[in-house]
Amino acid sequence: MTAPAPGADARRRSRVAALLPPLVVVAAFAALLASPLRRHLDAPAFDLASVALAPNPAEDVVIVAIDEPSFAEIGRQWPWPRSLHADLVKALRAAGARLIALDMVFAEPSAPEADGALAAALGPDVLLGADETVIETPHADQRIRVEPLPELLATGARSGVVSIALDADGVLRRAPTFDRGFAAEAASTAEPPPGALIRFRGGPRAYRTVSYYQALKPAEFLPPGFFKDKTVFVGLSLQTAASATASQADAFATPFTATTGRLTSGVEAQATIFDALRAGDLARAAPYLAELAALVLAAAAGAGLSRGRVSWRAVAAVKVFVLAVIGVSLLALEFADVWLTPLPPALALLAVVGADAALDYARERRARRDIEKAFGQYLAPEVVDRLARDPSALKLGGERRTLTILFADVRGFTTLAERMKDDPERLTSLVNRLLGPLSEAVLAERGTIDKYIGDCVMAFWNAPLDAPDHAECAVAAGLRMLRAVELLNAELSAEAGEAAPLKLAIGVGINTGDCVVGNLGSEKRFDYTAVGDAVNLASRLESASRLYGVPMLIGEATARALAGRAVELDRIAVKGKADGVAVFTVLDGEEPLAQREFLDAYRASRWDVAEMALQRLRADEPRLAAYADRMAERLRRLRETPPPADWRGVYTASEK
C-alpha cells in the first residue's frame, strides 16, 4: 500500500485547519443565540439602534402629567378626589380632545359624590385603566384582572390593561400582550404580536407634555386649540418622587435610559406603544434561521478575508465588513421593522479572523523553533545499532506487526514525591534505582525499551527483531520486575534501620495485538516506537490492575499464549474501549476452582453463590485475597443497584 505524499497530507491538514475556526465559531454563536444568554448581546445593540433610529413622536399625541407643579398648584395629597378627574375630563372634552386616556385604575369605591361626578363625566371618548396580574405556580398560570368600577363604564367608557412587561434586565423594550391592552384599545387596533419590540420616539418628555393643573384650565394656561383633535394620555409623570411613593412614580428604564440617565413615565410609555401601534412600526425579531444564515455568511467572510496571512488589507476589510453588518441591521430595522441583531455576526467575523491570526502566529513560532533545534535533536539510543547497520532506515515510516506491549508504573509515586519534596536528590536516586532493575528485566527477556514516561516504563517485544515467544517473554519480564521491586524494598528496609522504611510497589499491564511500529514522528524528529489500539489497552490494563488488587494484569491474547498459566479475573470495558475485554493475572499453578465458580455465578447475577465462592477463594489462594475483597464490595453495590436484565458481567472502568 502506497502512502500519500507528505505534501498532499500537509495540504489536506491545512484545509481542515482552515475550516475549523469558522465551524467552531458558528457553532458557538448559534448555541448562544438559542440560549437565554443572547440578551447580553442583543439588548444593548437594540438599545443603541433604537436611539440612533428613533422615529419622530406623533404631533397629535399630548400627555397631561400629574407632576410636581400640579401637586404644588392643586395643593392636595395623592390620590386626588375623582371629582377633580371629572373636571379634567370635561375640560379636555370641551377643548376638543379626540380621546382621553386616563392611565389610572379606579377599581375601589371612593367618596360616593366623587365617584358619581366622575361617572357622569365619562363617555365613549374616555379610556380607563385596568390591571392584570399573572401568578405563576408549578401547575398553571393564574391571571387576575382588575377592572374599573362598573358604574364608571356604564356611560360607554372603555378600559384597557395598563400593566407593563419588562425584560430580564429591567428595561422596557417589548409591547405588553394583554387581552384589551391600554394602548391597543386607545389605537383601536389588534394586540401586538408576542415579543414585539417598541421603537421609542425619544427619552422622557419626547411627546408634548403639559401639567395637570394647566389642562384643568386650558384657556388660561395653554394656546387656543391646543387639545383639538388630540389623543390625550393622563398619568403620573414625576421628575422626582415628590409626595408620591415609589410605586406611584410609575417610571421605567427604556433604551434611552443608558444615554439620558433618566426613566420614562408609564403614561408616556403607553403613549409610545399607542403611537407605534397606530403607525405600524413595532419591530419583530428576525427568525432564528435568518440569524444563523447571517452567522454563516459572516464566518465565511472572515475565513475568506484571512486566507493566507492576515495583513493590514485584511484588517481594513474586516472593519468594512463589520460596518456593513451593522448597516444591514439598521436598514432592516428602519425599513422593514425587523431586528436582526448585529453583534453575533460581527463578533463571529472578528473571532474567525482573530483565530486565523493566532494560528498564523503559532505556525511561525513553531517553524522558528524547529529550525533552531534541527541540529540539536538526537535519535533514540535503542535504534542506534540498527541505523549503523542500515542507514536507509533513517526515514519516516512503519510496519504493521503483532507485538506484546508492557507498561510498568510506580504505585503512589505522587505521594512519594510529595514526601521527599525537600530532598530531590534522594528522590532522583530512588527513581534511578528502581528504573534500572525494571529496564534490566526488559533487556534480559530480549525486549525493546520504547520510552520512560516519568516513573513509567513502556516496552515491547517482537520488534525490531522477530520473537515468536514474545508474549511469554513479556510476562517473564513483568515477573522479573515484581521480584526486582521486592529486592529493592528489602534493601531500603535495611538502609532505613529503625526509621520507617520506604515501600515501593509497581503495577504491570501487558497486552498482545497488532500495532504500527517504526520510525514515527516528523522529518526533524522521530523515534522508534509502537502505536495502536493494543498499546492503549496495555496502558489501561496497567492502571486497571489496582482495581483488582493484583500487581499484574494481562490481556486475553497474551493469556492465550501462556498455556493455562493465566487466571481470568473479569471482563472490563476500560476507558476508551466500548466493548468488554477479558483480563487475567498470572499465578504459579492452575487456576483456582473457586475463581471459576465465582465468575460463572457473578455473570449469571447469582450473588449469593458468587459471595460463597469468594470466601473459598480467600482461603484457597491468599494471593487473590485483595481481589476477593474488591469483588465482594462490587457484589454489595450490585445488590443495592441491580444491573439491567441483559447484563453479562462486563464492568465499566471509569479511570484510565
pLDDT: is 161 or 20 the higher one?
Answer: 161
Which pLDDT band, with edges at 50, 70 and 90, does 11 fall under?
low
Spatial distance between the Cα atoms of 128 and 131, rounded to a whole number of angstroms: 10
**Same domain flag for 445 and 475:** yes
pLDDT per position as a tens digit, 496-523:
776 777 889 999 999 999 999 887 766 6
Please give the DSSP secondary-structure letter assigned to residue 74. Answer: H
- Do the Cβ atoms of 520 and 529 come closer than 8 Å? yes
Strand partners, 526: 521
Q: What is the reported pTM?
A: 0.53
Specify if 610 maps to a domain. Answer: no
- Concatenated DSSP letters for 306-353? TSSS--HHHHHHHHHHHHHHHHHHHHHHHHH-EE--SHHHHHHHHHHH
Is 556 found in the same domain as 450? Answer: yes
pLDDT, tens only, 167-209: 888 899 998 888 888 999 999 888 888 889 999 999 899 999 9
CA distance 158 to 395: 91
CATH number at residue 469: 3.30.70.1230
For the cut 80, the answer to whether the pLDDT of residue 379 exceeds it is no
Query: Are residues 440 and 405 both part of a single domain?
Result: yes
Give the least confident one: 23-32, 154-163, 234-243.
Answer: 234-243
Q: Domain total for the chain?
A: 3
Residues 239 and 304 in one domain: no
One domain for residues 349 and 476: no
The last residue of one of the domains, among 568, 591, 614, is 591
In a domain, 632, yes or no: no
Whether residue 3 lies inside any domain: the answer is no
Q: Is the pLDDT of residue 388 over 60?
A: no
**655 domain-assigned:** no
What is the tens place of the pLDDT at every residue in 340-355?
Answer: 888 888 888 888 877 7
pLDDT at 394: 46
Judgement on whether residues 557 and 413 belong to the same structural domain of the protein: yes
Tell me which of 262, 280, 298 is where a domain ends: 280
Residue 241: which pLDDT band, with cuts at 50, 70 and 90?
Answer: very low
Residue carrying the nine cell digits 444615554: 259
As given in the structure block, the three cell numbers for residue 255 are 433604551
Confirm whether 323 is domain-assigned: yes
Mean pLDDT, residues 240-268 taken together: 74
d(CA 88, CA 109): 19
208 and 80 in one domain? yes
Residue 331 falls inside a structural domain: yes
Tell me, yes or no, whether 547 and 437 share the same domain: yes
- Asked whether the predicted pLDDT for residue 391 surpasses 90, the reply is no
User: What is the band of 242 on the pLDDT scale with cuts at 50, 70, 90?
Assistant: very low
The pair phi, psi for residue 650, each rounded to 5°, is -90, 125
Give residue 32's domain range: 17-47+286-356
Please count the other Cβ atoms lying within 10 Å of the Cβ belonging to residue 208.
Answer: 14
**Of the ranges 87-101, 158-172, 513-527, which is most confident?**
87-101
The predicted model gives 364-387 an average pLDDT of 45
Percent of the chain surpassing pLDDT 70: 86
326, 236: one domain: no
- Can you tell me the distance from the alpha carbon of 635 to that of 630, in angstroms, rounded to the nearest whole number? 9
Same domain for 238 and 301, yes or no, is no
pLDDT of 357 > 70? The answer is yes
**Separation between Cα atoms, residue 246 and residue 646, nearest integer Å:** 66
Mean pLDDT, the chain, integer:
84
Query: In this structure, is residue 7 part of a structural domain?
Result: no
Are 252 and 191 part of one and the same domain?
yes
11 versus 359: which is more confidently predicted? 359
- Strands, DSSP E only, in 456-544? 456-461, 506-521, 526-531
Return d(Cα 172, Cα 193) in angstroms, integer: 16
Q: How far apart (Å, rounded) are the C-alpha atoms in residues 134 and 147? A: 15
Q: Residue 416: pLDDT band by 50, 70, 90 thresholds?
A: confident
Q: What is the largest CA-CA distance in the chain?
A: 119
pLDDT at 631: 95
Q: Which of 259, 280, 301 is the last residue of a domain?
A: 280
Reply yes or no on whether the pLDDT at 41 is more than 80: no
| 155 and 28 within one domain | no
- What DSSP character marks residue 243? T
Mean pLDDT of 558-579: 84
User: Which stretch of DSSP H or E encloses residue 356?
Assistant: helix 343-373
